[in-house]
Amino acid sequence: MQLKIFKRGISYHKLVSWYSGLIKKNSPAPPYIHVTQIGDPILRHVAEPVATEILKTPEIQNIIACLKYTLKKYKSVGLSAPQIGSAYRICVVQFSKEHLNAYTQQEQKQKEMYELPLMVLVNPELKITNFNTVTFPEACESIKGFWSNVPRFRAVEVKAFDENGEQINFKVNGWNARIIQHEVDHLNGKLYTDIMDRKSLTCSCWQVVNERRGKITLPYFPD
């Protein structure tokens, strides 16, 4: 609700100062190397574009470094700047061989999975190139402990800048198109819970909760 105050057009500086005011003394300041969780106002803010003049500044390069570090630490396939507490339009995506191998051949085929090298996307813009939607289970590091069925467009064209300010343009389909749509949604203050099949929302460990008589804790940072 409070975020309604911050409509598009508010200065980035104002947002940072307001957000910093919510952070208790002695708490770490963004960019974090942990992942913010649903309810954190930063996840509902429409992130600001990165002006080309500031792309190579230590501030932006540090956000990119933190994104890469946190992505690796969480073994994730995508992470956006708001998820580490920064309201800039930057995300990182990847679908490594290790990620691919976690699925059966049948699933890989069904979900149109293929490798995607680690990419930094600054100010990404998406053009939908296939309006057919496909619905598969999806999870988010910012909605820890849950997954849900989420429809996504089957293919998109991506225009963005890389971390060096070079323009990149590529097409993706299937699972990689899903990953990129998910991350760009984050930059627009959207979460998968906004578009999911609501009845499919599932606690990832509901069986273990029963097996252990409820005695289970959910870590918010990887081991």
Residues classed as catalytic: 183
Residue recorded with tokens 């598009």: 8
Q: Least Å distance between CB 144 and Zn ion?
A: 10
- Per-residue contact string for residues 135-154; x = within reach of Zn ion by CB under 5 A: -----x--------------
β 78-80/90-95 pair status: antiparallel
Q: Give residues 102-141 in contact with Zn ion (rule: CB under 5 A).
A: 140
Give the separation between CA 50 and CA 53, rounded to whole angstroms.
Answer: 8
- Residue closer to Zn ion by CB (options 121, 140) is 140
Q: Give the total of residues touching Zn ion (CB under 5 A).
A: 1
Burial status of residue 90 (CB atoms within 10 A of its CB: 0-12, 13-18, 19 or more): buried
| Three-class secondary structure of residue 179 per DSSP | helix
Please report how close the Cβ of residue 180 comes to Zn ion at its closest, in angstroms.
12
Q: What is the CA 117 to chain-centroid distance, rounded?
A: 16
- In the complex with Zn ion, the residue whose CB is nearer, 55 or 95, is 95
71 touching Zn ion, by CB under 5 A:
no
Which of 140/158 has CB closer to Zn ion?
140
Residue with tokens 């599932």: 202
Name residues whose C-beta falls within 8 Å of residue 185's C-beta, 6 or more positions apart in sequence: 191, 192, 194
Smallest gap from Cβ 70 to Zn ion, in A, equals 12
Among 116, 124, 187, which residue's Cα sits nearest to residue 161?
A: 124
CA distance 1 to 147: 24
By beta-carbon proximity to Zn ion, the closer residue of 140 and 196 is 140
Closest-approach residue to Zn ion (CB) = 140
Enter the DSSP assignment of 34. Answer: S
Token pair, residue 167, equals 């323009």
DSSP-derived secondary structure letter, 200 = G
Identify which of residues 55 and 124 has a Cβ nearer to Zn ion in the complex. Answer: 124
Least separation in angstroms between residue 71's CB and Zn ion is 11
Instruction: Judge contact between 176 and 108, C-beta under 8 A.
Output: no
- Least distance from C-beta 143 to Zn ion, angstroms? 7
Binding-site ranges for Zn ion (CB under 5 A): 140
